[in-house]
Structure 1
């Protein structure tokens, strides 16, 4: 029960890494607001873990504020925010990605962090306590060709994590990030372009441990960074990648 009596918001929690993080947090004693653009998926995970479901568009300020208000109304306060929601464009040369796809990637992957910080940082400052965890990617550390603007969005998130950590530390707020390698999530096929045995083998050959990240891997790492055991850790971008970035 490492998160006993903690409250948490997890975005993109209806599937994949977000669902894994939500399950781990609940198992460790946290009350979790399961936030996802897919209301049915959020409700399914929330029902499973006795959490609270929230339909949210993390790229929309009014929707994000409504999510923050719901969490504070349900829980009284918010201890932890996990910015996990993310999208990618399909693999293609950088000069062929549409402006619409570019805008969507940066709205969901980057603007969401800004909006959620605006909605909840003052609340955490008033309590002199809080933990923010951003789910970035190994793509922001060691970019792959043909995912250039996705790579850039995750590099932005890594820099934002460090900048937020430095600024918010005096207020008792820690900010860290996780850098997963590709995992068994709904985005996997998008990263690969197509989900075939050959393409999977090609991806796996770049991971020394020889497997993809799992939602359980992410849940375990997130639990540590958001627990009091990590009270001296801020500004860290932890790679959960089986050695991919070595």
Structure 2
């Protein structure tokens, strides 16, 4: 792992206890930053934070009060927040639209899309006041192309892309940069939420003929979180093994 320059930076990672979020937290720590692990699983978040010299908070990204409390705790423990990686998400069920449970649709949208909005809404005022910030939202290749039998997830991730473009342009004349990444699938715990047929479908669409490794996705996310990412904002960065090149 080549370390990026994140010395002294304070970064909150939603869903930071596992998978892509964990890989991001590890890379931020390796670059000299201090990660705040915001996750529903507080026990696991605390283990990660203790290992990486960071801070842990139990966070439900669909609950604004939960995010506000985590932000206050982070800034008390570590200092003012420089970076947000909005990564928390669920896949929801794999089934056609005409059979898709309405409650499941609402849950996916609340966590995967509204959770990104709420997280950004909470951190932007402090970034504006300090005249610096980096926000990286984790979308998905499904948000570009739409995966069959995953309508809520595809719609939510497309919403994250649109939201990122909007917020990036809102803040373009400030030193705050807002971007998103659109990974192909990585073999993480999120696969436990999917059918094998859905997993096989996703692999069949990747020209590289393999799933992404979380470290590959984290490397791009963390570069977008550095000062070097100074002129890209409201942008969508592909990391899909050749599946999407637009």
* TM-score range relative to shorter protein: over 0.9
Q: Could you tell me whether the CA contact under 8 Å between 2:55 and 2:78 is conserved in 1?
A: no
Given the alignment of the two structures, is residue 11 of structure 1 paired with residue 10 of structure 2, yes or no?
no
More moved, 91-100 vs 6-15: 91-100
Deviations 1:141-190 (A, max 9, x none): 01111101110000000000000000012232110001111111111242
Q: TM-score, normalised by structure 2?
A: 0.94
Q: Distance in 2 between matches of 1:114 and 1:230?
A: 22
Map of 1:121 onto structure 2: 124
Q: Work out the CA distance in 1 between the residues paired with 2:176 and 2:89.
A: 23
Give 1:68's match in structure 2, choosing from 52, 68, 71.
71
Question: What is the CA-CA distance between 1:202 and the residue it aligns to?
Answer: 4.5
Runs of at least 5 residues in structure 2 that lack an aligned partner in the other structure: none
Residue from 138, 143, 146 that aligns with 1:143: 146
Q: Does 1:83 align with 2:82?
A: no
The Cα offsets for residues 195-246 of structure 1, whole Å up to 9 and x where unpaired, read as: 8xxx755432321112111210121011111111111111111111101124
**1:178 equivalent among 167, 176, 181:** 181
Residue 159 of structure 2 is aligned to residue 156 of structure 1? yes
CA–CA distance in 1 between the matches of 2:11 and 2:163?
A: 20
| Partner of residue 196, structure 2 | 194
Instruction: Please give the TM-score of this superposition, normalised by the length of structure 1.
Output: 0.94
| 8 Å contact kept, 1:20–1:215 | yes
May I ask how many residue pairs the two structures share in their alignment? 242
Unpaired stretches in structure 1, ≥5 consecutive residues:
none
Q: Which runs of 4+ in 1 moved over 2 A?
A: 199-205
Q: CA RMSD in A?
A: 1.4
**Residues 25 and 219 of structure 1 are in contact (CA less than 8 Å); yes or no, is this contact kept in structure 2?**
no
1:54 aligned partner: 57
Indicate if the aligned counterparts of 1:90 and 1:147 stay in contact, CA closer than 8 A: yes
Counterpart residue number, 2:225 = 226
